[in-house]
Amino acid sequence: MDKITCGPKMGVFLLSGGHFMIDFYNNFLPVLLPIIMVRMDMSLTMCGLLVMVLSITSNLFQPFFGYLFDKHNSSKIMVYAVALCGVFICFVGYVPNKPLLFLLCALLGVAVSAYHPLGTSLLGKVSDKVNMGRSVSFYVAGGNIGFALAPVVVVAFLERFALEDLPVLIIPGMLLATAYVLTNLWKLPSISSKATASSEETDFSTILKNRDVVRLNLAMGFRCWTHVSVVTFLPLLMQSKGLSAVMSGTLLGVFLAGSALGGLFGGELGDRTSHKKVMLYSLVLAIIPVVYFFNMPSANIFSVLSLFLAGALLMAPQPSSIVWTGRLMPQFIGVASGMMMGLCYAIGSIGAAVTAVLGDHIGLEVALLISIAPVVLSALMVYITPYDR
């Protein structure tokens, strides 16, 4: 194996940068939906199905990719994933029909799904072990920041340029993929350093029989139902209230900025206190700002503050969930990451599709208010899961 040509800090920075770029491209769709919806005469339900396709392919496959990377060295995939994500989403302006639109979103999802568990697996190879919790938080925050900036960047871009000019935004992903090659990060082994003879005989079905892991995954899936619903439909709701596309995108950016902050500090607080407490308390507290905002959705200062707090509290459990699940199966870090950063979002995307259908029948505002119910279920499942310090 060729030696990497960067230190631990730069390695964590580059891997977090990959997470930034992957989630940056992955969050173009909510801002593009109002344009695509008009161009292709799509209903709200059809938009929900498109989001579900992207969410399922970008999330559901993550545990399986993680299992593959834990068993076989496939780190070169990171170069193609980061480089191609932008290609798939930035060419939607040239899509002539709905089937091809769905195909491009599915391919984007597969690339996103491949990078997440691989990046987490390689993080353990480049990070100082004593700062692993902090590195995970930084990695998670990188993705959250990219996710948060995407609506702001895309709205600003489309204010000056046409949708057909979007391929210009492919360039940063290509440059980062080149950096992986130049630093030899793409040649690091992805196989778990804690794999043992017994763990090599463990198959995926054995992992799924771990009740605590499954319970945590379902809990985070219910959390993601609310988070994905807000991210996907907030711009549509606010534009229906008479707000401009720029203001609607800005409000989404506020929610995602809160998410980035919650992801950054959630893991650190878990290391200092208890990962279970951080997850439980943040979920319970998240109910208040979500209910407040969707009872009176607007752009006043209190609504903006509630959106920020909602994002922070809904995302705070994620780093702790990754660390907690990783402790439950240390020989399968890739799978643990894939479940907490992928499979749970696939579950959430199915819930978001349900919210979309409800929105067509009872109104999007009421449907989004109802979407807080899964957070209550999430908190209950975290509460009943035993935690071993």
DSSP result, 154-175: HHHHHHHS-GGGGGGGGHHHHH
Asked if residue 91 has pLDDT above 60, the reply is: yes
Burial class (CB in 10 A: 0-12, 13-18, 19+), 196: exposed
Distance CA 28, CA 293 (A): 23
Residue 80 has pLDDT above 80, yes or no: yes
Single out the residue of 356, 310, 305 nearest to residue 51, CA to CA.
Answer: 356
- Residue 268, pLDDT > 80, answer no
Q: Which of 311, 291, 279, 288 is nearest to 380 (CA)?
A: 279
- Confidence (pLDDT) at 298: 84
pLDDT at 61 over 90: no
Q: Does position 200 have pLDDT exceeding 50, yes or no?
A: no
Instruction: Please write the tens of the pLDDT for every residue from 329-362.
Output: 877 777 877 888 778 887 887 888 888 888 888 8
- Joined together, the tokens standing for residue 293 give 């905002």
Is residue 1 a part of any domain in this protein? no
Q: Is residue 2 part of a domain?
A: no
| Cα angle: 30, vertex 62, 378; to 5 degrees | 70
E strands within 188-332? Answer: none
Per-residue pLDDT, averaged over 222-250, amounts to 86
Specify the DSSP class assigned to residue 278.
Answer: H
Q: How far apart are CA 81 and CA 319, in angstroms?
A: 23
Task: Name the pLDDT band for 128 (thresholds 50, 70, 90).
Answer: low
Assess if residue 200 is contained within a domain.
yes
389 within some domain: no
Domain count along the chain:
1
C-alpha separations of 288 from 72, 214, 232, 256 in Å:
45, 27, 20, 17
**DSSP result, 319-345:** HHHHHHHHHHSGGGHHHHHHIIIIIHH
Highest mean pLDDT among 19-28, 43-52, 144-153: 19-28
SS3 299: coil
Give the three-class secondary structure for 119.
Answer: helix
**C-alpha 357, offset from chain centre:** 22
Length of the chain: 389
Cα-Cα end-to-end distance for the chain: 36
Distance CA 380, CA 349 (A): 20
> How does residue 196 score in pLDDT terms, banded at 50, 70 and 90?
very low
pTM of the prediction?
0.74
pLDDT > 90 fraction of the chain, expressed in percent and rounded: 29
The alpha-carbon radius of gyration of the chain (Å, integer) is 20
Domain assignment of residue 242, yes or no: yes
What's the CATH number where 62 sits?
1.20.1250.20
Does the pLDDT at position 59 exceed 90?
Answer: no
Residue 245 covered by a domain: yes
pLDDT above 90 for 312 = yes
Q: In the numeric block, which tokens belong to residue 252?
A: 């989404």
Which range (20-34, 126-140, 205-219, 278-292) has the least confidence? 126-140
Given a cut of 60, is residue 202 above it in pLDDT?
A: no
Q: Read off the pLDDT of each residue in 155-163 and give the average, rounded to a whole number.
A: 89
Average pLDDT rounded to a whole number, residues 9-35: 89
CA distance 78 to 122: 10
Query: Residue 171: inside a domain, yes or no?
Result: yes
Q: Nearest Cα to 79, choosing from 222, 240, 187, 241?
A: 187
Answer yes or no: is pLDDT of 307 > 90.
yes
Kindly give, in sequence order, each residue whose CB lies less than 8 Å from that of residue 242, ignoring residues fewer than 6 positions away: none
Asked whether residue 131 carries a pLDDT value surpassing 70, the answer given is no
Question: Which domain does 253 fall in, by range?
Answer: 8-384
DSSP for residue 93: G
Q: Are 26 and 105 contacting, i.e. CB atoms less than 8 angstroms apart?
A: no
The least confident of 56-65, 124-133, 142-151, 215-224 is: 124-133
Confirm whether 15 is domain-assigned: yes
Averaged confidence pLDDT in the chain = 84
